[in-house]
Amino acid sequence: MPIFDFLRGQFIDVIHWTDDSRDTMVWRFEREGHEIKYGAKLTVREGQAAVFIHEGQLADTFTPGLYMLETNNMPILTSLNHWDHGFKSPFKSEIYFVNTTRFNDLKWGTKNPIIARDPEFGPVRLRAFGTYSVRVTDPARFMSEIVGTDGEFTADEITFQIRNVIVQEVSRVLASSGIPVLDMAANTAELGKLVASQISATVASYGLTIPELYIENISLPPAVEAALDKRTSMGIAGDLGRFTQYSAAEAMTAAAANPSGGGGMGAGLGMGMGMAMANQMTQQGPWGAAPATAAPPPPPIEHVWHIAENGATKGPFSKASMGRMATDGTLTRDSLVWTPGQDGWMRAEDVAELAQLFTIMPPPPPPPPAA
């Protein structure tokens, strides 16, 4: 065996990378002196890419497959190194394996509230959080823009920067969306897609893409949430009376659950409130409605009157007309009157309804005393 063939056989090497850490994005293949043997076998698996760095310059990128590192399949590296095809000596280069699979379930969230203008509540402060995934689409750009010479680059080292980009765009989208806060939960999917599309150009400059971005929750300040809860409770109660009953029942339940807070007095107070509320509900009906009041009686029938005078009858006359006749003397106490339903003719002063007409005017004065 010629000596050169023997030396070339000793230089043969196998270059590959397997990883089960699930968070490593870039790993540098370590060899003493970074010496790669001519004719070495490079294995790039699915979900990986291999980037060659030679003398500080990015030389070549290999996609999944099996490669023999020779001059005929590395034209860029050959032109950089000016290999001697006779001896085919080892060369010194750095090989970085880049994980091109998705890194899922990465978290993002707003540190500070987002001020948005709601058409119903006015200015409100919103907070939002969710998850996203990231993937390397351009290994060469990712190496030159982000990784540099880091021998083991993990997802945690880039997620902080991406979170800042996401939060900035989420703040802008939520503040300018014009969607009422009560309807944002129904639009989180569309808002997430909008944010992902808006930040795609920025993350592409890093050699990355955001395949998925989810807005899991958009929350309001605790004070606003408490007001909404109270408003919901009032909506369930239906009206103020029922809401008052509901609040009283809640207070009684709390007092019963804390007997040490007032002892027998608290229990007695709770029982008294319960009995009063029960009586009120009984009076108001099963649903708090006011009891139906009795219908007013029908108005009295207006009588009309006939007057008998000199063997003839006159009328009918209303009670108002009879009153005027009593005033001018046409109707006297001894006048005979009759109205439908009355049993025969009667003197006017014997009819209770007409007798009062003669009490308006004082009776004639008594005669003077005898001298």
For residue 196 the two structure tokens come to 């992902």
* Contact partners, residue 81, CB within 8 Å, separation at least 6: 54, 91
pLDDT at 3 over 50: no
Instruction: Please give the pLDDT value at position 32.
Output: 65
pLDDT at 318 over 80: yes
**Cα–Cα distance measured from residue 103 to residue 306, given in angstroms and rounded to the nearest whole number:** 108
Q: Same domain, yes or no, for 129 and 174?
A: yes
Mean pLDDT across 31-47: 79
Tell me how many domains the chain contains. 3
CATH number where 314 lies: 3.30.1490
pLDDT band at 58 (very low <50, low <70, confident <90, very high): confident
pLDDT band at 80 (very low <50, low <70, confident <90, very high): very low
Q: Which DSSP symbol is given to 300?
A: P
Question: Which of 44-48, 130-134, 311-315 is predicted least confidently?
Answer: 311-315
Of 354, 356, 325, 329, the closest CA to residue 342 belongs to 354
Q: Same domain, yes or no, for 73 and 123?
A: no
**Cα–Cα distance measured from residue 152 to residue 26, given in angstroms and rounded to the nearest whole number:** 6
Q: Which of 55, 76, 99 is the last residue of a domain?
A: 99
In a domain, 265, yes or no: no
**Cα–Cα distance measured from residue 201 to residue 184, given in angstroms and rounded to the nearest whole number:** 25
Q: Same domain, yes or no, for 122 and 217?
A: yes
Of 160, 209, 166, the closest CA to residue 191 belongs to 166
Q: Which of 194, 223, 252 is the last residue of a domain?
A: 223
Question: Which of 43-47, 260-264, 354-358 is predicted least confidently?
Answer: 260-264
Q: Same domain, yes or no, for 214 and 114?
A: yes
Of 225, 61, 224, the closest CA to residue 138 belongs to 61
Q: Which long-range contacts (CB under 8 A, 24 or more apart) does 213-216 make?
A: 213/130, 213/131, 213/132, 213/133, 213/166, 214/130, 214/131, 214/132, 214/188, 215/128, 215/129, 215/130, 215/170, 215/188, 215/191, 216/129, 216/130, 216/131, 216/188
| Half-sphere CA count of 290, side-chain side, radius 13 A | 3
Q: Same domain, yes or no, for 88 and 110?
A: no
Instruction: Please give the pLDDT value at position 239.
Output: 60
Q: Which is higher by pLDDT, 239 or 337?
A: 337
pLDDT at 50 over 80: yes
pLDDT digits (tens, 9 = 90+) for 138-189: 999 999 899 888 889 999 999 999 999 999 999 999 888 888 888 888 888 9
pTM over 0.85? The answer is no
Q: Same domain, yes or no, for 200 and 136?
A: yes
pLDDT band at 11 (very low <50, low <70, confident <90, very high): very low
In a domain, 280, yes or no: no
C-beta separation of 333 from 347 below 8 A:
yes
pLDDT band at 281 (very low <50, low <70, confident <90, very high): low
Q: Same domain, yes or no, for 149 and 179?
A: yes
Q: Same domain, yes or no, for 61 and 117?
A: no
Q: Same domain, yes or no, for 55 and 144?
A: no
Mean pLDDT across 8-20: 70
For residue 100 the two structure tokens come to 């091109």
In a domain, 120, yes or no: yes
What values do phi and psi take at 304, rounded to 5? -115, 150
Q: Same domain, yes or no, for 213 and 141?
A: yes
Of 319, 316, 315, the closest CA to residue 300 belongs to 319
CATH number where 134 lies: 3.30.479.30
In a domain, 274, yes or no: no
In a domain, 52, yes or no: yes
In a domain, 42, yes or no: yes
Instruction: Please give the pLDDT value at position 109.
Output: 93
Looking at every residue in the chain, the average pLDDT score rounds to 78
In a domain, 366, yes or no: no
Q: At what angle do helices 240-257 and 263-284 cross, to 10 degrees?
A: 150
Q: Same domain, yes or no, for 89 and 135?
A: no
**Cα–Cα distance measured from residue 37 to residue 92, given in angstroms and rounded to the nearest whole number:** 9
Q: Which is higher by pLDDT, 160 or 232?
A: 160
Instruction: Please give the pLDDT value at position 4.
Output: 45
pLDDT digits (tens, 9 = 90+) for 119-150: 887 888 899 999 999 999 999 999 989 988 88
Q: Which of 99, 122, 146 is the last residue of a domain?
A: 99
Identify the domain containing residue 212 by its residue range: 103-223
In a domain, 86, yes or no: yes
Q: Same domain, yes or no, for 317 and 349?
A: yes
